[in-house]
Structure 1
Amino acid sequence: MTLLVKKNKTEYLEKEVFAEINPVGRDEFTAAGQKDYKASMMIEVWGFEYEGQTEVMVDGRKMAIYRTYGPKSNGKVELYAGERIGKS
């Protein structure tokens, strides 16, 4: 998985990291919808690797990180990723 941060209008700074990818539950899907996002996945990465990046690339698919949680007691951070829907 690749963490992305926009460098300028066309370029991104990329950081390749190991991650555990999990599905999101119904409650998260609903909460994301209220923020105009379609929740796709919850990604766990090590806290020391996440530096506030705003987007991720998973299997060639670019998504926004719309919410984070952590670091947790195991040192990992949860990144909630999805696609922007509705108004921009």
Structure 2
Amino acid sequence: MATITNYDLFQEFFNFVKKPESTIEDVIKEHGGSSLYIPSYKTTIRNDEICTEYKKRQGEKRLTKKLAKTYDLSEAQILLITKHLREPGSLF
């Protein structure tokens, strides 16, 4: 069973709201009283971009250092973001 993330929840909300037939009443009925969390760019899109690039370029010399420079992060941050890609038994 896949884990549902804050990004998944926001995507569902966003899709519901952007439907042309959705009215303010529909939104209130469906999501009224909910706390709205909008995921940050860095924890969703940026990290996904880093992981995608890491997978494509895996095995390249000094890749962590190159990614750190590209994304203006430390090498330790890149290693933390891509940790699941290096762990044994990773599905990625």
Fold-level similarity (TM above 0.5)? no
Structure that is richer in strand per residue: 1
Q: Which has the higher contact order (CA 8 A, sep 6+)?
A: 1
Q: TM-score, normalized by length of structure 1? A: 0.22
Q: TM-score, normalized by length of structure 2? A: 0.21
Larger Rg computed on CA atoms:
2
